[in-house]
Chains A and B, each alone.
Chain A
Amino acid sequence: MSKLTTVLALTFGCLLTLSAQAVEIRDHHKEVIGKDCKTCHDNGIKQFPSDQACLQCHDVDDLAEQTARSEEDKWQNPHNNLHYGKELPCQECHSEHGTKKPLCSNCHTFKYDKHKE
């Protein structure tokens, strides 16, 4: 590795640490992610994470199973829903550093009690 790259990496690392202090992350993420912003910010620190970032650890099939609803309301499953199936990117409803309303709430009044809004 060239000197320049090392210096850049060090500088970048410091910046990451700084910004990591400035933002909140979920408790359950602290243990696994710690302060390594790049774990999720795979497109660069100023960009939103890619839609694959969460999927490094989370499996959409498992999530769909966990949030399954009764047969009658089966299509309200956010991880396997009527409009987009299992393809809706996590960031449409989830925000790591803040809160977000689920996309469904644009049109529907049904609730997701465990979702942090």
Chain B
Amino acid sequence: MSNKDLLGRRNFIKGFGAAAGVAMAAPALAVSEKADGVKWDKEVEVLIIGSGFAGLAAAIEATRKGAKDVHIFEKMSYFGGNSAINGGLFAAPGTPMQKQEGVKDSVEIMVADQLASGRGIADEALLRHVAEHAVEALQMTLDAGSEYHPYLQQLGGHSVARTYQTTVSCGAGITQPLLHECRKLGVHTHNRSKFEGFLVGDKGEVLGVKMRDNYHFGEDQPGKVSNIRAKRGVIMATGGFAQNVDLRMAQDPTLTAEVGCTNAPGATGEGMYEMFRLGAVPVHLAHIQSGPWASPDEGGFGYVSNYSIYNFPHSVAIDRLTGKRFMNEIADRKTRADAELNCRDAKGNALPPILITSYEDSKKHPNTKKVLKYNVGWKFDSIEELAKHFDVPLAPLKQQIAEYNDYVKTQNDPQFGKNMTEAKGKYIKAPFTVVRLWPKVHYCQGGVQINTKAEVKDSFTGQAIPGLYAAGEVCGGIHGVSRLGSCSIPECMVMGMTAARSMMKA
């Protein structure tokens, strides 16, 4: 980045920021400044912002590569970011469990699946880089003590079963062990620490950051701001912006506050916007993904999401108006979310479709117990009872299930082209478990442009901004239009590790 642009651009953006600040809930306006003449309050070796998968993996990897003084700053009061409440699903090609289950897979096949879902605008080089290192990242979680279900899952858009899931069916099964590992390695972790902007050197290099302490999210709390020098650089692992309604509506006006969201409250995107102010290239911001497995009967990700993800391969999704299927239950997320949003009653009001599964199959996942216990899913002994409960026309529903069971038998779905491999022998029969489905805002495909070294490209010079690295959902363009499920954890972790390696080599 050339320094002659910095002030002019900053002043321009300042005006824009002030105007935007009125509409935004963010209490303070963060702005980057020239570090010239700044009094440094503290100096650290490696400075990481954000404590999700990417930040934690970066900290561990930096330490392994010899860093002695690694600091993670987290704006929330608790560590783990959105990762701590995600689904804990981890896709990797060529894993030990695939060998055990006899699944043929490769980096090439995984990249091809993701490119298809990316609809022509995904970043092949980055996808390949992540797929090539995914097993290493999986190993890092195992070394830290993560435990996984003893079976693989085949998620929507994946051509084979390649997804591990933590035994607690949640990303916390990874963030908690990684956080403990960080502390064991001597990584310093700071919560309630709000990033307030970069401090930039004469050549446009990131020298450090302004950091507010004692930060209480969503409250007007005047914590002290200090200037922290980062000797080796700054890794931005600040996540997406799905919880920032103004920002997401700026990209997609349909994503109003009424649309549910699976993310942790802190996913508001200030770190990303600060990088844009510095000169980073915005990529694919309008591609904001909704999760087709979410339930309107609970908040956020809840219990149903993982229940549905597990059960989609051997279930039927039914439009309650017609009693018929309306999608391939394991198509990619965008295909399914769009199809669900079309499920409307005669007046055009939302009519959440239902997912019907044989209890015999659904009960194998621990979440089934939970969805039944907490009334976000229901069990029925007969199809008549089920149809009555959800007001679904009985005759077409019965016919649909009979037809689908034929597809299970013939391993061919002429209706929607579903890959029936994982449905083999799993007929839809009583007793049934049922959940309602309605998409929730889940993931931002857009963010800052990075390369396979996790460097952030400057929009004016086309070169990497020295001293700055980014990893995880804050980055954009990797997945294109629609990210495949279970591909975010490997991306976050691999790019976090990559950022640490690049920084330690620089």
State how many angstroms separate the Cβ of B74 from the closest Cβ of chain A: 11
Could you list some 22 contacts between A and B, CB below 8 A?
Answer: A48-B221, A51-B191, A82-B172, A83-B78, A83-B84, A83-B170, A84-B79, A85-B176, A89-B78, A91-B77, A91-B216, A105-B299, A106-B265, A107-B85, A107-B299, A107-B301, A108-B298, A108-B299, A108-B374, A109-B297, A109-B302, A110-B374
Known contacts A48-B216, A48-B221, A85-B176; is-contact A109 B78 (Cβ 8 Å) = no
CB distance from B72 to the nearest CB of A (A): 14
- What residue of chain A has the Cβ atom nearest to residue B376's Cβ? A109
One of B80, B297, B375 near A84 (C-beta < 8 A): B80
B459 CB-CB contact with A under 8 Å: no
Chain A residues 16 to 71 lying within 8 A of chain B, measured CB to CB, are: 43, 47-48, 50-51
Q: How far is the CB of B265 from chain A (nearest CB, A)?
A: 7
A96 contacts partner chain B, Cβ-Cβ < 8 Å: no
Q: Looking across the interface, which residue of chain A has its beta carbon closest to that of B375?
A: A109
Bound Cα distance A87, B298 (Å): 25
CB <8 Å contact, B78 and A84: yes
Query: Which A positions have Cβ atoms within 8 angstroms of B?
Result: 43, 47-48, 50-51, 72, 75, 82-85, 87-89, 91-92, 105-110
Contacts of A110 in B (CB 8 A): 374
Is A89 in contact with B77, judged by CB distance below 8 angstroms? yes
CA distance A75 to B166 in the complex (A): 14
Is there an interface contact between A83 and B374, defined as CB atoms closer than 8 Å?
no
B260 to chain A, nearest CB (A): 10
* CB under 8 Å from chain A, chain B span 360-375: 369, 374-375
Q: A47-B214, A82-B170, A83-B170 are in contact. Are A106 and B299 (CB under 8 A)?
A: yes
Q: Are B302 and A108 in contact (CB under 8 A)?
A: yes
Interface residue B303 (Cβ < 8 Å from any Cβ of A): yes
Shortest CB-to-CB span from B307 to chain A, Å, is: 13
B79, B262, B301, B369: the one contacting A87 at CB < 8 Å is: B79
* Residues of A with C-beta under 8 A to B265: 106
B300 at the interface (CB under 8 A from A): yes
The answer on a CB contact under 8 Å between A48 and B219 is yes
For the complex, give the distance between the alpha carbons of A75 and B169 in Å: 12
Residues of B within 8 A of A50 (CB): 214
Interface residues of B in 285-344 (CB under 8 A from A): 297-303
Determine the distance from Cα of A84 to Cα of B191 in the docked complex, in whole angstroms. Answer: 13
Q: What residues on B are CB-neighbors of A89 within 8 Å?
A: 77-78, 191
Q: A51 to chain B: which residues have CB within 8 Å?
A: 77, 191-192
